Amino acid sequence: MIAGKTNTLTKLIVVALGMFGFGFALVPFYYKICEVTGINSGDEQSLVKNTQVDTSRWVTIEFDANTNEGLPWQFRTTQRSIKVHPGQLVQVEYEAANNSDHAIVGQAVPSYGPARAGAFFKKIECFCFTPQKLAAGERRQMPVLFVLDPSMDKDLHTVTLSYTFFNTNPKAQTATLPEKVPHG
């Protein structure tokens, strides 16, 4: 009977210690389950998906820069074209200069050629996201950070990214601002 008791005691202590270890084993187990099932890992966000580079094909991207006639800025690309793999993270620069004698706020609007390529053009950072204010005579380099979605149509070999800068206040170019009437 004493031997039986000691035997049971030993077994139960082993179970208790094993379960203490199991508590810690749940930590890698949890992360593995999340990884395998894709829960909780941020995979759903397009960002991670787009970094899967498709090295089997090249796409030529051409850059184009225009200004609307109402904006006295000089706006150009620093490169005319670039060859990239879909999924590759790419950074290019545009340059804008304000040739007028006063500060102007401009807003760039992108367009794509062919238009259907736009759906696969994932911009992560772009000067076109916000209005840009340039002081008189100021010159500024502005980045665009993007990836082409690897699921992009296979027949697209050349894509053109074109920006046109507009003056956010077309009238302000010639008209002077009305003076504020003081309250009274």
User: In the bound complex, what is the minimum distance in angstroms from residue 45's beta carbon to other proteins?
Assistant: 15
24 binds other proteins (CB under 8 A): yes
- Compare residues 9 and 109 and give the one whose CB is closer to other proteins: 9
Report how far residue 149's alpha carbon sits from residue 57's, in angstroms, rounded to the nearest whole number: 13
Q: How many residues make up the chain in this entry? A: 184
Alpha-carbon torsion, ordered 6, 9, 11, 12, to 10 deg: 170
- Compare residues 21 and 184 and give the one whose CB is closer to other proteins: 21
- Compare residues 3 and 181 and give the one whose CB is closer to other proteins: 3
Binding to other proteins (CB under 8 A): which residues in 2-21? 4-5, 8-9, 12-13, 15-21
- Compare residues 40 and 169 and give the one whose CB is closer to other proteins: 40
User: In the bound complex, what is the minimum distance in angstroms from residue 47's beta carbon to other proteins?
Assistant: 18
User: In the bound complex, what is the minimum distance in angstroms from residue 7's beta carbon to other proteins?
Assistant: 9
- Compare residues 41 and 55 and give the one whose CB is closer to other proteins: 41
Contacts of 27 (CB under 8 A, 6+ apart): none
Q: What character string, x for contact with other proteins (CB under 8 A) and - otherwise, covers 25-44?
A: -xx--xx-----x-xx----
CB burial of residue 147 (10 Å; 0-12, 13-18, 19+) = buried
Binding to other proteins (CB under 8 A): which residues in 50-89? none
DSSP 95: E
Report how far residue 145's alpha carbon sits from residue 184's, in angstroms, rounded to the nearest whole number: 51
- CB atoms < 10 A from the CB of 178, how many? 6
Report how far residue 74's alpha carbon sits from residue 51's, in angstroms, rounded to the nearest whole number: 34
Interface residues toward other proteins, by CB under 8 A: 1, 4-5, 8-9, 12-13, 15-24, 26-27, 30-31, 37, 39-40
